[in-house]
């Protein structure tokens, strides 16, 4: 089975500090581990004395998901559960060169979202 790495991040709220965002990132990563291999995204440090050191970007993870429809549906369901628990946020998915923003979809929009993510994953693996 083919796998594709999907980048996922969420919008912080105005009163979020780095600790809160870190906790939310861990929460999202833990949920996504049910679907596939999760990695926190590293962001290079812009410090000439750091010599190749990188730090983890807060609010950004990647997950390796299969192209099977069950994986795609599970991915969307995990993201929607995260949004329900953390009101007022949006989640951004990046699959290859396709970016999607998810913000409280209706049931009909959820089905459309699953199809869109599935098509993006299929396109990314080609």
Q: pLDDT (tens digit, 9 = 90+) per residue, 45-89?
A: 555 555 554 455 667 898 998 878 888 889 999 999 999 999 889
pTM: 0.82
pLDDT in the model for residue 53: 45
* CATH code of the domain made up of 4-124: 3.30.70
Extents of the domains making up the chain: 4-124
Closest CA to 44 of 55, 36, 34, 35: 55
Ordered strands of the 3-10 beta sheet: 37-44, 54-66, 3-10, 91-95, 98-102
- Mean pLDDT across the chain: 84
Percent of the chain at pLDDT exceeding 90: 36
pLDDT reading at 28 higher than 60: yes
pLDDT at 5 over 70: yes
């Amino acid at each position: 089975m083919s796998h594709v790495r999907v980048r996922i991040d969420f919008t912080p709220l105005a009163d979020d500090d780095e600790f809160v965002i870190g906790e939310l990132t861990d929460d999202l990563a833990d949920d996504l581990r049910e679907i596939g291999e999760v990695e926190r995204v590293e962001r290079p440090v812009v410090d000439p004395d750091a010599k190749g050191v990188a730090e983890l970007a807060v609010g950004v993870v990647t997950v390796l998901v299969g192209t099977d429809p069950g994986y795609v549906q599970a991915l969307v369901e995990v993201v929607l559960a995260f949004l329900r628990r953390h009101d007022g946020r949006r989640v951004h998915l990046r699959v290859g060169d396709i970016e999607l923003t998810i913000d409280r979809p209706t049931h009909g929009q959820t089905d459309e979202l699953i199809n869109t993510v599935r098509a993006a994953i299929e396109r990314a693996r080609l």
